[in-house]
Structure 1
């Protein structure tokens, strides 16, 4: 490996690390203090960098939110892969989808922060709403794939409207997630059990 190539690799590693640290700082600030605390200056300071670096990397609040959303989708995809959902029936994979989503709210401040940011975007009627709508469309597409898989493998009823089932399931998860922010005593584990039971009752073949 040439010195120039090694230098480029180290630079790329540093860029990736700084991006991850800045996104982590953004999510921690949102989880603890809300959207108003998410400024490039605060993010840079919390991550140990300058305000200029955060601004340079993301360009705008919208650019920052897009990076945050993309990273969280990647993390959820990895969690689902770790559960080996690809080898499951469609119905089993749907249950994993629900578990990963709700478990992340219990164990990850990053995922709670996502819904803090989402609710802020709605309340403030900001341009960020479009980014969250795109994010939820991605989740809807993933759910549609799981429902379709279930129809094909016989674990899900063949008479369902796949798109509507995916939209309803995703919307219910969004509602559960935002309710968990509003109520500190909200029992996510109990809700997960009830929600999985509802999915089976509604969609199992």
Structure 2
């Protein structure tokens, strides 16, 4: 039987589900960045994505559940991006330098990354809503930084006496501050804050 020219292959149920979840999460990101967390309702998300409120609840869950889903998505994307941009053979100093660059680039160019930090800011006033999910995401980043710093100590790039956990928290805290500053002051050129971030990379042993 000849195939009819111009007809698209019918999407499977799994493909339709994946597409609807992606569109709904993209709509959630847009609303958070443009209108704020409080405006991210199932009705507003569904309307922007072109779906019903019922399907939005079915795909993303209620408000706290959809935020956690978005956080999980950001963590997965970040992990994949870091693995691609910072190969395992990268020296520790260069790895941290690249991580800082990626953070600044994503704040400027990746809407889901900016939305994540809007959720971080929101969790400070409603810790019960997102506190655990935010903590797990930050622990994930801390573990990555500690592992790189420990590798730098072992290779002689960083001082033996350096407390890797404290240094990882210091770097992470500064980068978090940059993200919140961007949220509070959208016109701020955050690239001006990069040199201070680089200054947190441990010095070479004398």
TM category, shorter: 0.7 to 0.9
| Structure 2 residue 106 is matched with structure 1 residue 104 | yes
Give CA deviations for 1:89-110 in whole Å, capped at 9, x if unaligned. 1121111111111110111222
Q: Does structure 2 conserve the Cα–Cα contact (< 8 Å) formed by 1:94 and 1:146? A: yes
User: Distance between the aligned counterparts of 2:204 and 2:51, measured in 1?
Assistant: 51
- What SS is found at the alignment partner of 1:186? coil
Mark the runs of 5 or more structure 2 residues left unpaired by the alignment: 1-8
Q: Could you list the runs of 4 or more consecutive aligned residues of structure 1 that deviate by over 4 angstroms after TM superposition?
A: none
CA shift for structure 1 position 203? 4.1
Q: TM-score, normalised by structure 1?
A: 0.87
The one of 112, 126, 129 equivalent to 2:131 is 129
Q: Tell me the C-alpha RMSD between the 2 structures.
A: 1.9
Give CA deviations for 1:33-70 in whole Å, capped at 9, x if unaligned. 00111111111111111111121123222221221111
User: Distance between the aligned counterparts of 2:19 and 2:152, measured in 1?
Assistant: 39
What is the match of residue 3 of structure 2? none
User: Distance between the aligned counterparts of 1:147 and 1:96, measured in 2?
Assistant: 13
CA shift for structure 1 position 154? 2.2
User: Distance between the aligned counterparts of 2:15 and 2:204, measured in 1?
Assistant: 46
What is the match of residue 140 of structure 1? 142
What is the match of residue 69 of structure 1? 71
- What SS is found at the alignment partner of 1:72? helix
CA shift for structure 1 position 176? 1.2
What is the match of residue 199 of structure 1? 200
CA shift for structure 1 position 83? 1.9
- What SS is found at the alignment partner of 1:159? coil
- What SS is found at the alignment partner of 1:135? helix
Aligned length: 196
What is the match of residue 169 of structure 2? 167
| Structure 2 residue 31 is matched with structure 1 residue 29 | yes
CA shift for structure 1 position 125? 4.1
In structure 2, the CA distance between the partners of 1:125 and 1:74, relative to structure 1 (3 Å rule), is: closer
Larger Cα-atom Rg: 2
User: Distance between the aligned counterparts of 2:113 and 2:136, measured in 1?
Assistant: 17
- What SS is found at the alignment partner of 1:86? coil
Q: TM-score, normalised by structure 2?
A: 0.86
Decide which structure has greater helix share. 1
Q: Does structure 2 conserve the Cα–Cα contact (< 8 Å) formed by 1:93 and 1:146? A: yes
The one of 187, 190, 196 equivalent to 1:188 is 190
User: Distance between the aligned counterparts of 2:81 and 2:190, measured in 1?
Assistant: 18
In structure 2, the CA distance between the partners of 1:91 and 1:40, relative to structure 1 (3 Å rule), is: same
What is the match of residue 6 of structure 2? none
| Structure 2 residue 126 is matched with structure 1 residue 156 | no
What is the match of residue 3 of structure 1? none
What is the match of residue 50 of structure 1? 52
What is the match of residue 5 of structure 2? none
